[in-house]
Amino acid sequence: MHVITVEGLGSCRRGLHPIQESLARTHGSQCGFCTPGFVMSMYALLQSSQTPPTEEQIEECLAGNLCRCTGYRAILEAFRVFAKTSNILYTGVSSLNLQDGQSVCPSTGKPYSVDRHKPTSYNEVDGTKYTEEELIFPPELLLKKPTFLNLTGFGGLMWYRPITLQHVLDLKAKYPNAKLIVGNTEVGIETRLKRIQYQVLVSVMHVPELNVLETREDGIEIGAAMRLSILLNFFRKVVTERAAHETSSCKAFIEQLKWFAGSQIRNVSSIGGNICTASPISDLNPLWMAARAKFRIIDSKGNIKTVLAENFFLGYRKLDLAYDEILLSVFLPWDKTFEFVKEFKQSHRRDDDIAIVNAGIHVHLQEHSDNWVVADASIVYGGVAPCSLSAIKTKEFLIDKI
């Protein structure tokens, strides 16, 4: 691992990084939590983009940085200098204030001399020079392969990082109450804020079988440790490559994942963790259920069984999963012609917020005697019951309706 903090980018003493400089110049600085957060989110985006990001990508990368005090205009203005396009509305000259080709001051109405073809930015930082002399990921770390790790912590806590599936299964057989973790986004909250104590934690991040991500003849196989950001990008690629009707579910997941926490969380949290947490307000579980996904479960002896997502959630945080079993992968089938899947989420705030209610909806239409009838349907809600709930009576009512 290679960790860069905001101090690694620049400081008043050593000189500011262009991102910091830009934020300071546009008066976008906030408190000691927000400012480093915004800077590092923007830095991560620039470091991971092959080409300059779009303005939309910049806004998306800041969705996980919630400041309780500010509007974001000055911050976005600071970061727009690094974008592919520069929007004239955010520069010193607005095309609305042009009169006979001359710029006019909006308050006095008097012309002033600015070349309208060369918008002047309030910000003097040149974002195009960004890529020079950046920190790189240390090459010697790239050569290192993950190895088995075993650490102990407070109160006898044991933390394991196996690198083979067999070792994970052996640990699960030995410690049936062991908690599997990937990004620690749920267990971290449970242990720090809810004071829940676990004796054995098993990090499964580096197990190859749990990181599978492949398209098959009949759908997509997704390993349980697959990170949400990687899956989101994979879905985005798949919808450009497959027939439109096959990827209705993928499109619904793309939309839902956009509003799933922020990019920092999506970068490390896994689909298996989200499923097995079995939150009654899970954003994704209603969609897995509606999209007729299947979960592959493996026990400590290596036996594999398949369970329909619809039958996996038994009650409040209760799963059809024995102590010696783990979720191995998720299979998402392609949609057929005239089969449609849609997502729904209602929350207080659009970005980075828990839903009040959410849903996954699936309908399959068929032509019958010059009419379109509902051949199959599924409507699954989150936030209305102890677990994601399928509206079975509604489904029965809809079937065969015109």
Q: How many residues bind ligand FES (CB under 6 A)?
A: 8
Q: Establish if 323 lies at the interface with ligand FES (CB under 6 A).
A: no
Q: Establish if 34 lies at the interface with ligand FES (CB under 6 A).
A: yes
Q: Which strands make up the sheet holding 389-390, listed edge to edge?
A: 339-347, 355-368, 371-382, 389-390
Q: At what angle do helices 18-25 and 34-48 cross, to 10 degrees?
A: 130
Q: Which of 373, 374, 377, 376 is nearest to 359 (CA)?
A: 377
CB 36 to ligand FES: min, Å: 10
| Span interacting with ligand FES, options 66-74, 153-161, 200-208, 310-318, rule CB under 6 A | 66-74
Nearer to ligand FES, 22 or 211 (CB): 22
Nearer to ligand FES, 70 or 199 (CB): 70
CB 352 to ligand FES: min, Å: 13
Q: Establish if 31 lies at the interface with ligand FES (CB under 6 A).
A: yes
| Span interacting with ligand FES, options 62-70, 93-101, 110-118, 187-195, rule CB under 6 A | 62-70
Q: Please give the torsion angle defined by the CA atoms of residues 153, 158, 163 and 168, in that order, rounded to the nearest 10 degrees.
A: -160
CB 245 within 8 A of CB 336: yes
CA distances, 400 to each of 310, 378, 395 (Å): 21, 13, 10
Instruction: State which of residues 44, 67, 158, 374 lies at the interface with ligand FES (CB under 6 A).
Output: 67
| Span interacting with ligand FES, options 29-37, 72-80, 136-144, 164-172, rule CB under 6 A | 29-37
| Span interacting with ligand FES, options 64-72, 278-286, 292-300, 359-367, rule CB under 6 A | 64-72
| Span interacting with ligand FES, options 26-34, 284-292, 317-325, 394-402, rule CB under 6 A | 26-34
- Site track for ligand FES across 68-87, x = CB under 6 A: xxx-----------------
Instruction: State which of residues 20, 22, 26, 30 lies at the interface with ligand FES (CB under 6 A).
Output: 30
Q: Establish if 307 lies at the interface with ligand FES (CB under 6 A).
A: no
Residue matched to tokens 């936030």: 383
CB 66 to ligand FES: min, Å: 7
CA distance 324 to 322: 5
Binding positions for ligand FES, rule: CB under 6 A = 30-31, 33-34, 67-70
